[in-house]
């Protein structure tokens, strides 16, 4: 038996759970075992069909009033009990905050080591794993030999496939919680407010350097058009007195980690790049196709930022995106 | 700026796009090179070398005319590009010894034309209020100092070349091989393709040795760590505009600097133990968290520096919001003698080196190298001390480079005496005489890697013997007498009275052989080369502008065979110059390590040598400047009747393996003639100064022509030679300046201990103003040395024409004090034996 | 309050890492060492809480002797005391690490109110040491925290989710693992750095523990060093730019 831990919301199973499910099915097939799953909460029954479509034969729904709100230690306890009850050789969870947290509790309770960030498993006498270190800049090949192999699946590394199977059979499961299992439980969910995004927390950072010639007005206008966006600058611009020191991104300034970083008129000196290495993607605007920043960017526009920035703002407006 | 296609041919390939390579492409384009390819393995504008982490300040004052000039010119270039901030700079002294050194710096500033003054601690505080003045004695204010932006300047230089359509750039392109055919560079192979090239410049900073190795040649430098941290934000700096509002501080005694940079203070150090890297350990760009030349700070090594920084600028470092935001072991290039490595690489035609250059001097050095490449010579003398060939035949090993770099690291902010000697990897080159000289307690100095006795402790008795003549020339001041001995004066007088043996003189010796040898020699030398076999001649070698490239002795050994004998310290440079200019059937063969040279001079030289030589060795049998085979107690040698000390005698060149026998024979037979071994203190200083003999790299340099140096006795020969036109014109025109010999007429004008100048001091008029000739050249002491036979301390200096006359009274400034001097000889000629009676063996 | 912050010495790598010949480790010949941004935030949070509430921050690491360097870095940031669990050169797994830390905490004279960890280590990223320490000690635990408030014996911790955050209220003593973004870690002052170099770091040798996870070898993945996709060379490229922004769902 291989047991997958699933997370879901009103739209069904989440992406990383589907990825975990795909890997779990691969493990089950290699081991010649059946694939079962566990999900928490009263709404879990709703994903039985989707789970079945991805190869799950039985969906264990751990439902109790106490478990409606996420509680990591209780969830971990439930996973352990479910795994023991059905006699599973592996539990595979999505590599999300909750997945890792729940399975860590389970691992500790079972006194086994959990393997995190797994991308591939070859099942033999032991599990030959491929997993990520260093946020994916290094691959680890390792061997997992626990009585129950617990692993989390690295997000966005496994391509989801479907089997077109029938809806999973729903089996309700009532964990026996112990004192203290509910000491930690989700209290509430807060909506984020988006006013005045600090550089370090912005999802989008637009910044200007020497190429602005000191005129940041177009970049400011662009930032105002994008939610969760902030404006930064290079050290050169700060040294010129064009921007305050607080805006500086780089070695001696702010370190940012946005989803997209848009350096405009910045050559991409090393000292600048260390400030934005946390950015997931980079879209550079620069007139010089040989600038270092172009080598480091995912996308680039080779043109004058004073023309490009207003054009982007206009296009955003035309498509109905506004702050 | 460039096309994406990697080109298959280029006129000039420059490897390295830091400030050096970028400046060079701009300067080369300016001088007409129109097909340049600039390659760097990193991206632009910061490819990841030392330029990217430099602290970028410019302190123009050095104890070297050339370096001061290059730094000052570089500052002008940065300024033209609007990338210079004239913040000023202050070197502070924590000790009395350093205050003396700062006085010396003021004198050098005066000599070489920089604005500078001494400051009291209070005056330092006025300029930089955050300096802890409790621990300083004062400061040296360099008003022209400031900071620059080399990355931006590099960009603008490249842009300049690009606008002339002269430049293509290939960033992110790694050089993998250099192709050399028949001793000539032909192509550069990279990961993007191979480009054929007529000339290639290695400007790859600390990677230069790796690139040079691809052509089988050496660029002797090593990566070394310069530690630096950046602390901020500092509230005091918040309101300032631009990147710097306070003078840069150099805390000389702790070998550190502190420099505002925006709202940070950068603290850099050369104080820590030298940390040398192997270039193969320097990580790639991808492997580096910051850049290949910015490995992480070695914290334990930086500990004393932190303590010292907290002492000197506690106010800013203790700003409650300030933290260490950045810290690195910055890698830079260090050479065995601290000088850059410039010019044509001897073994491969068309291959140039432009490496080991500081930010402060890079643009001007690039400019001078570009002139060297395009018109055959630079205008500022970067040949004498900075030529990559100066380590030829000895200084290429890793052990040598590393040990000298290790030793030299401490000199970067050190107080370095002009005569100071290197200590590591010695002895390296020893002649056949070395063991005998060591037995005689020789104090060895080094030149061109050779061990040369400066004086012999075994001659200490001569000080007593000649006490009457020496006593007024004793140097009571420690600085003046450092790396010096009064024994030199005794040896000098003994040689002039009896006979002295001087060896090894560490000459660079090479032969030019081939059917076109004469034609080549004619083209290179000022003196006529149409001389008889067995004759020799002293000749200047000129650049096209008639500036000095070399001065040396040429002997004709056969119809198609010349022998060139030059100073050991210039052997590599001269070999390269000859090698690069040979045409047709003429081959250059190095002899330096096969031959040892022993000079025997003095009134008893004739009697001594004639008594031991199978052939007659007398004034009658040997004409002046004649070179003949002699046999001395079984040793075959060549003897040349010539002298650099103004006495009758010979230089005897023997095979190295028989040198010791030659020494023993002369030494033993010489006892009867009261012979003494004599060091280069006499040969290179006291003897030559009394005779007014010029020294390459001191008096003789690219900036002055033979007319000014007083070396026109060859006239203008019919045959064409390099520099002829300018040389002839210089003779016809009136000199702007003339090299003069001066004597110090009062060593203690205000009482106190008498002082003896060492060289490099400015010459002033009676009003205390530095003399400047009509070409803007400032008068300074090119050489200084005592003349015991004339009882005077002598100085050589170029003086503006109106001052160049005997008896002219002037002043020299030394450690802030002015001393009266008088012109003894204007132009060529000796203070001692001006008619050369002794040299030519006339009756006297 | 008494706070323990755990950190781990890791090499400071560039975009590409090189491996030792046996492929069991990173070649650190030309690299320096640091501790991860998550842990920097943990140290900073501890220091800030002590600044606010009084008390002490003890920084603890398990690793080779040179890891005292990282302990000192944390002390330079404001931590008061340092402990090195000298684990030798071997790489410790998460179970053994957690047991060793739990033992050290139990054996300590100090009753810690709060144990701060990074959410996961920068190098091995096992994502479980904090939780396991909590389990060993019977303490409540929250992970992945980017906002933390302590009021008396209670902490309110927030974890980021798309469009907002989850809020947890926990009683102290507790284990909290944190993520970068929790705060802005300070740069140590030079004087603090100097003093930290002289601070003493307590050392003990923990008992090793068998792990079920055995390293076979490391591999450097093929990197995508493809140049940027050029969206255009004129302002018209704005359309493609907005396509990208839409695809990333940031507008």
- SS3 track for B708-723: HHCCCCCCCCCCCCCC
* Rounded percentage of chain B residues whose pLDDT exceeds 90: 93
Residues in contact with A316: Cβ distance below 8 Å, sequence separation at least 6, in sequence order: A225, A226, A322, C242, C245, C251
Let me know whether B496 and B514 are in one domain: no
Let me know whether B42 and B168 are in one domain: yes
Please name the member of B288, B297, B325 whose beta carbon is closest to the beta carbon of C14. B288
Q: How many structural domains comprise chain B?
A: 4
- Rounded to the nearest angstrom, the minimum Cα separation between B285 and chain C is 8
- Rounded to the nearest angstrom, the minimum Cα separation between C217 and chain A is 5
Containing structural domain, residue B516: 508-591
Let me know whether B631 and B755 are in one domain: no
Q: Given this model, what pLDDT does residue C191 score?
A: 96
Q: Given this model, what pLDDT does residue A7 score?
A: 96
B325 at interface of A, judged by CB pairs closer than 8 A: yes
| Mean pLDDT score, A68-90 | 95
Q: Given this model, what pLDDT does residue C143 score?
A: 97
pLDDT of B749 > 70? The answer is yes
Structure confidence by residue, pLDDT tens digits, C62-110: 999 999 999 999 999 999 999 999 999 888 999 999 999 999 999 999 9
Residues 75-114 of C with CB under 8 A from A: 93-95, 98
Q: Given this model, what pLDDT does residue C83 score?
A: 97
pLDDT of B1 > 60? The answer is no
Instruction: For residue B4, tell me if it sits in a domain.
Output: no
Q: Given this model, what pLDDT does residue C77 score?
A: 97
Supply the mean pLDDT for chain A.
91
Calpha distance B131→B143 (Å, rounded)? 18
Q: Given this model, what pLDDT does residue A228 score?
A: 87
ipTM: 0.92
Instruction: For residue B493, tell me if it sits in a domain.
Output: yes
Let me know whether B615 and B676 are in one domain: yes
* Rounded percentage of chain C residues whose pLDDT exceeds 90: 80
Please name the member of C17, C29, C190 whose beta carbon is closest to the beta carbon of B231. C190
Let me know whether B563 and B457 are in one domain: no
Please state, as a whole number, how many other Cβ atoms lie within 10 Å of the Cβ of residue C217: 12
Please name the member of C16, C186, C190 whose beta carbon is closest to the beta carbon of B309. C190
Contact B580, B344 (CB under 8 A): yes
Structure confidence by residue, pLDDT tens digits, A114-129: 999 999 999 999 999 9
**For B197-251, what is the HEC assignment?**
EEEEEECCHHHHHHHHHCCCCCCCCEEEEEEEEEEECCHHHHCCCCCCCCCEEEE
Q: Given this model, what pLDDT does residue A15 score?
A: 87
**Number of CB pairs < 8 Å for A and B?**
66
CB contact under 8 A, C30 and B282: yes
Angle subtended at Cα B42 by Cα B41 and Cα B43, rounded to the nearest 5 degrees: 135
Let me know whether B548 and B568 are in one domain: yes
Q: What CATH number is associated with residue B813?
A: 2.40.30.110
Q: What is the DSSP-derived secondary structure letter of residue B296?
A: B
- Rounded to the nearest angstrom, the minimum Cα separation between B248 and chain C is 19
Structure confidence by residue, pLDDT tens digits, B214-232: 999 999 999 999 999 999 9
Q: What CATH number is associated with residue B42?
A: 3.50.50.60
Calpha distance B7→B196 (Å, rounded)? 9
CB contact under 8 A, A241 and B52: no
Q: Given this model, what pLDDT does residue C180 score?
A: 83
- Per-residue pLDDT band at A195 (split at 50, 70, 90): low
Q: Given this model, what pLDDT does residue C223 score?
A: 63
pLDDT of A244 > 90? The answer is no
Please name the member of C15, C30, C189 whose beta carbon is closest to the beta carbon of B322. C189
Residue of A nearest to C215 (CA): A142
Let me know whether B702 and B810 are in one domain: yes
**For B425-473, what is the HEC assignment?**
CCCCECCCCHHHHHHCCEEEEEECCEEEEEEEHHHCHHHHHCHHHHHHH
Structure confidence by residue, pLDDT tens digits, B551-578: 999 999 999 999 999 998 899 999 999 9
Of B319-333, B560-574, B626-640, C213-227, the poorest mean pLDDT is in C213-227
Instruction: For residue B417, tell me if it sits in a domain.
Output: no
Contact B658, B638 (CB under 8 A): no
Let me know whether B698 and B791 are in one domain: yes
Q: What CATH number is associated with residue B545?
A: 3.30.70.1400
Looking at B591, B617, B634, the residue that finishes a domain is B591
* Rounded percentage of chain A residues whose pLDDT exceeds 70: 97
Q: Given this model, what pLDDT does residue A252 score?
A: 66
Report the sign of the C-alpha dihedral through residues A58, A64, A70, A72, in that order: negative
Tokens, residue B644: 């650099």
Instruction: For residue B673, tell me if it sits in a domain.
Output: yes
* Rounded percentage of chain B residues whose pLDDT exceeds 70: 99
- Per-residue pLDDT band at A238 (split at 50, 70, 90): confident
**Residue-range domains of chain A with CATH:** 2-173 (3.40.50.620), 199-318 (3.40.50.1220)
Let me know whether B497 and B600 are in one domain: yes
Preferred mutation among B307, B324, B329 to probe C, highest tally of C CBs within 10 A: B324
- Per-residue pLDDT band at B644 (split at 50, 70, 90): very high
Tokens, residue B217: 């040649």
- Per-residue pLDDT band at A196 (split at 50, 70, 90): low
Instruction: For residue B768, tell me if it sits in a domain.
Output: yes
Contact B66, B381 (CB under 8 A): yes
CB contact under 8 A, B303 and C197: yes
Let me know whether B629 and B704 are in one domain: no
Let me know whether B750 and B813 are in one domain: yes
Contact C60, C39 (CB under 8 A): no
| Mean pLDDT score, C1-21 | 92
A319 at interface of C, judged by CB pairs closer than 8 A: yes
Q: Given this model, what pLDDT does residue A288 score?
A: 86
Supply the mean pLDDT for chain C.
93
Supply the mean pLDDT for chain B.
95
Let me know whether B584 and B492 are in one domain: no
C198 at interface of B, judged by CB pairs closer than 8 A: no
* Rounded percentage of chain C residues whose pLDDT exceeds 70: 98
| Mean pLDDT score, A272-294 | 86
Tokens, residue B262: 């925006």
Alpha-carbon distances, residue B804 vs B368, B557, B827, C5 (angstroms): 30, 40, 8, 79
- Per-residue pLDDT band at B2 (split at 50, 70, 90): very low
Instruction: For residue B389, tell me if it sits in a domain.
Output: no
Alpha-carbon distances, residue B259 vs A248, B91, B145, B344 (angstroms): 19, 12, 12, 36
Q: What CATH number is associated with residue B443?
A: 3.30.1360.120
Q: Given this model, what pLDDT does residue B3 score?
A: 45
- Rounded to the nearest angstrom, the minimum Cα separation between B585 and chain A is 47
- Per-residue pLDDT band at A157 (split at 50, 70, 90): confident
Q: What is the DSSP-derived secondary structure letter of residue A269?
A: -
Contact B3, A252 (CB under 8 A): no
| Chains with ≥3 CB–CB distances under 8 Å to B | A, C
- Per-residue pLDDT band at B130 (split at 50, 70, 90): very high
C230 at interface of A, judged by CB pairs closer than 8 A: yes
CB contact under 8 A, C16 and B287: yes
Q: Given this model, what pLDDT does residue C236 score?
A: 93
Residue of A nearest to B241 (CA): A241
| Mean pLDDT score, C24-52 | 94
- Per-residue pLDDT band at C224 (split at 50, 70, 90): low
**Residue-range domains of chain C with CATH:** 2-226 (3.40.50.620)
pLDDT of B464 > 50? The answer is yes
Please name the member of A251, A270, A289 whose beta carbon is closest to the beta carbon of B48. A270
Q: Given this model, what pLDDT does residue A323 score?
A: 59
CB contact under 8 A, B295 and C32: yes
Contact B538, B527 (CB under 8 A): yes
Residues 127-186 of B with CB under 8 A from C: none
- Per-residue pLDDT band at C210 (split at 50, 70, 90): confident
- Global confidence as pTM: 0.90
Instruction: For residue B130, tell me if it sits in a domain.
Output: no
Residue of B nearest to A289 (CA): B1
**Chain B residues within an 8 Å CB radius of C32:** 289, 295-297
Instruction: For residue B64, tell me if it sits in a domain.
Output: no
């Amino acid at each position: 038996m291989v047991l997958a831990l699933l997370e879901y919301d009103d739209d069904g199973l989440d992406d990383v759970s589907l990825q975990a499910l795909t890997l779990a099915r691969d493990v089950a097939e290699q081991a010649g075992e059946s694939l079962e799953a566990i999900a928490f909460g009263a709404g879990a029954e709703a994903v039985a069909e989707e789970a079945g479509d991805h190869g799950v034969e039985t969906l264990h729904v751990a439902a109790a009033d106490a478990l409606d709100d996420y509680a990591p230690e209780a969830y971990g306890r439930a996973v352990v009990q479910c795994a023991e009850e059905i006699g599973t050789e592996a539990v595979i969870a999505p590599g999300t905050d909750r997945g890792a947290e729940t399975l860590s509790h389970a691992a500790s309770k079972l006194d086994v080591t959990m393997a995190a960030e797994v991308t591939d498993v070859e099942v033999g006498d032991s599990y030959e794993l491929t997993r990520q270190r260093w946020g994916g800049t290094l691959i680890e090949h390792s061997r997992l030999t626990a009585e129950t192999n617990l692993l989390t699946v690295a997000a966005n590394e496994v391509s989801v496939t479907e089997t077109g199977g029938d809806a999973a059979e729903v089996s309700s499961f009532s964990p026996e919680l112990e004192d203290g299992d509910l000491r930690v439980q989700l209290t509430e969910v807060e909506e984020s407010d988006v006013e005045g995004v600090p550089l370090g927390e912005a999802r989008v950072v637009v910044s200007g350097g020497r190429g602005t010639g000191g005129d940041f007005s177009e970049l400011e206008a662009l930032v105002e058009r994008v939610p969760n966006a902030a404006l930064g600058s290079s050290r050169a611009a700060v040294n010129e007195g064009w921007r305050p020191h607080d805006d500086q991104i780089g070695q001696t300034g702010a370190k940012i980690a946005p989803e997209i970083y848009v350096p405009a008129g910045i050559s991409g000196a090393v000292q600048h790049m260390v400030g934005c290495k946390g950015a997931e993607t980079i879209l550079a605007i620069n007139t010089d196709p040989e600038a270092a920043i172009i080598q480091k960017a995912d996308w680039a526009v080779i043109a004058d930022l004073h023309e490009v920035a207003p054009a982007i703002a206009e296009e955003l407006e035309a498509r109905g995106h506004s702050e | 700026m460039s096309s994406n296609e990697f080109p298959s041919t280029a006129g000039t390939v420059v490897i390295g796009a830091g400030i050096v390579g970028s400046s060079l492409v701009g300067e080369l384009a300016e001088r007409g090179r129109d097909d340049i390819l600039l390659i760097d393995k990193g991206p632009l504008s910061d490819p990841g070398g030392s330029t990217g982490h430099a602290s970028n300040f410019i302190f123009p004052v050095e104890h070297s005319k050339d370096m001061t000039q290059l730094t000052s010119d570089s500052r002008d270039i940065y300024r033209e590009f609007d990338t210079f901030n004239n913040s000023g700079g202050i070197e502070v002294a924590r000790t009395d010894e350093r205050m003396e050194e700062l006085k010396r710096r003021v004198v050098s500033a005066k000599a070489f034309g920089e604005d500078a003054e001494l400051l009291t601690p209070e005056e330092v505080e006025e300029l930089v209020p955050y300096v802890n003045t409790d621990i300083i004695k004062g400061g040296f204010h360099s008003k022209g100092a400031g900071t620059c932006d080399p990355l931006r300047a590099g960009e603008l230089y490249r842009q300049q070349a690009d606008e002339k359509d002269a430049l293509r750039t290939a960033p992110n392109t790694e050089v993998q091989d250099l192709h050399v055919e028949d001793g000539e560079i032909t192509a550069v192979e990279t990961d993007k393709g191979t480009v054929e090239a007529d000339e290639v410049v290695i400007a790859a900073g600390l990677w230069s040795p790796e690139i040079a190795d691809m052509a089988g040649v050496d660029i002797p430098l090593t990566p070394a760590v310069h530690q630096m941290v950046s602390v901020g934000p500092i509230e005091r700096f918040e309101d300032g505009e631009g990147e710097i509002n306070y003078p840069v501080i150099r805390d000389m005694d702790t070998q550190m600097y502190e420099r505002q940079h925006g709202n940070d203070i950068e603290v850099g150090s050369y104080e820590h133990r030298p940390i040398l890297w192997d270039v193969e350990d320097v990580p790639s760009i991808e492997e580096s968290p910051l850049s290949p030349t910015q490995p992480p700070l070695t914290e334990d090594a930086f500990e004393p520096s932190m303590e010292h920084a907290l002492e000197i600028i506690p106010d800013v470092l203790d700003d409650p919001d300030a933290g260490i935001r950045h810290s690195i072991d910055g890698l830079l290039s260090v050479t065995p003698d601290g000088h850059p490595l410039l010019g044509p690489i001897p073994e491969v035609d068309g291959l140039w080196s432009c490496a080991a250059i500081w930010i402060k001097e890079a643009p001007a050095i690039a400019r001078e190298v570009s002139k060297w490449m395009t018109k055959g010579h630079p205008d500022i003398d970067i040949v004498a001390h900075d030529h990559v060939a100066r380590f030829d035949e000895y200084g290429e090993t890793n052990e040598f480079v590393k040990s000298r770099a290790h030793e030299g690291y401490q000199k970067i902010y050190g107080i370095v005496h002009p005569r100071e000697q290197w200590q590591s990897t010695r002895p390296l080159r020893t002649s056949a005489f070395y063991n005998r000289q060591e037995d005689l307690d020789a104090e060895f100095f080094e030149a061109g890697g050779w061990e040369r006795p400066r004086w012999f402790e075994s001659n200490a008795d001569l000080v007593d013997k000649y006490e009457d003549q020496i006593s007024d020339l004793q140097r009571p001041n420690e600085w003046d007498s450092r790396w010096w001995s009064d024994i030199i004066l005794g040896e000098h007088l003994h040689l002039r009275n009896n006979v002295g043996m001087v060896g090894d003189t560490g000459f660079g010796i090479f032969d030019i052989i081939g059917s076109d040898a004469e034609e080549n020699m004619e083209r290179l030398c000022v003196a006529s080369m149409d001389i008889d076999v067995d004759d020799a001649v002293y000749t200047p070698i000129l650049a096209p502008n008639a500036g000095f490239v070399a001065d040396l002795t040429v002997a004709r050994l056969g119809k198609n065979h010349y022998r060139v004998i030059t100073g050991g310290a210039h052997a590599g440079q001269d070999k390269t110059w000859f090698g690069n200019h040979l045409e047709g059937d003429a081959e250059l063969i190095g002899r330096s390590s096969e031959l040892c040279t022993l000079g025997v001079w003095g009134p008893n030289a004739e009697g001594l040598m004639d008594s031991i030589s199978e052939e007659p060795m007398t004034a009658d049998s040997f004409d002046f400047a004649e070179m003949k085979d002699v046999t001395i107690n079984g040793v075959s040698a060549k003897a040349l009747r010539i002298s650099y000390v103004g006495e009758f005698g010979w230089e005897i060149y023997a095979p190295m393996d028989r040198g010791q026998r030659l020494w023993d024979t002369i030494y033993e037979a010489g006892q009867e003639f009261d012979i003494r071994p004599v060091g280069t203190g006499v040969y290179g200083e006291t003897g030559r100064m009394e005779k007014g003999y010029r020294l390459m790299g001191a008096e003789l340099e690219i900036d002055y022509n033979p007319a000014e140096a007083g070396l026109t006795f060859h006239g203008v020969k019919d045959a064409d030679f390099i520099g002829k036109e300018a040389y002839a014109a210089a003779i016809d025109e009136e000199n702007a300046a003339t090299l003069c010999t001066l004597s110090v007429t009062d060593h203690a004008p205000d009482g106190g201990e008498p002082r003896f100048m060492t060289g490099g001091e400015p010459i002033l008029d009676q009003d205390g103003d530095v003399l400047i000739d009509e070409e803007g050249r400032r008068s300074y002491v090119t050489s200084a040395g005592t003349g015991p036979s004339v009882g005077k301390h002598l100085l050589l200096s170029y003086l503006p024409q109106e001052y160049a006359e005997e008896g002219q009274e002037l002043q020299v400034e030394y450690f802030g004090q002015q001393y009266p001097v008088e012109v003894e000889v204007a132009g060529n000629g000796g203070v001692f034996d001006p008619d050369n009676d002794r040299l030519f063996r006339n009756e006297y | 309050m008494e706070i323990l912050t755990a950190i781990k010495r890791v090499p400071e790598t560039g975009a590409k890492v090189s491996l030792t010949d046996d492929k069991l480790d990173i070649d650190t010949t030309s690299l320096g060492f640091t501790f991860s941004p998550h842990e920097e935030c943990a140290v900073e949070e501890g220091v800030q809480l002590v600044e606010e509430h009084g008390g002490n921050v003890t920084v603890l690491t398990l690793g080779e002797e040179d890891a005292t360097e990282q302990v000192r870095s944390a002390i330079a940031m404001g931590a008061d005391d340092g402990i090195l669990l000298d684990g030798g050169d071997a790489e410790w797994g998460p179970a053994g690490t957690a047991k060793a830390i739990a033992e050290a905490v139990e054996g300590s004279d100090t009753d810690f109110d709060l144990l701060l960890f990074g959410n996961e280590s920068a190098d091995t990223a096992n994502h479980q040491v904090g939780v396991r320490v909590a389990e060993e000690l019977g303490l409540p635990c929250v992970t992945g925290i980017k906002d933390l408030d302590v009021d008396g014996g209670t902490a309110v911790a927030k974890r980021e989710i798309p469009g907002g955050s989850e809020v947890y209220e926990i009683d102290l003593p507790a284990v909290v693992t944190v993520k970068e973004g929790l705060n802005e870690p300070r740069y140590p002052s030079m004087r603090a750095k100097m003093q930290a170099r002289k601070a003493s770091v307590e050392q003990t040798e923990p008992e090793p523990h068998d792990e079920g996870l055995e390293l076979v070898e490391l591999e450097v993945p093929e990197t995508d060093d493809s140049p940027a996709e050029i969206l255009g060379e004129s302002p018209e490229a704005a359309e493609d730019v907005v396509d990208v922004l839409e695809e990333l769902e940031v507008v």
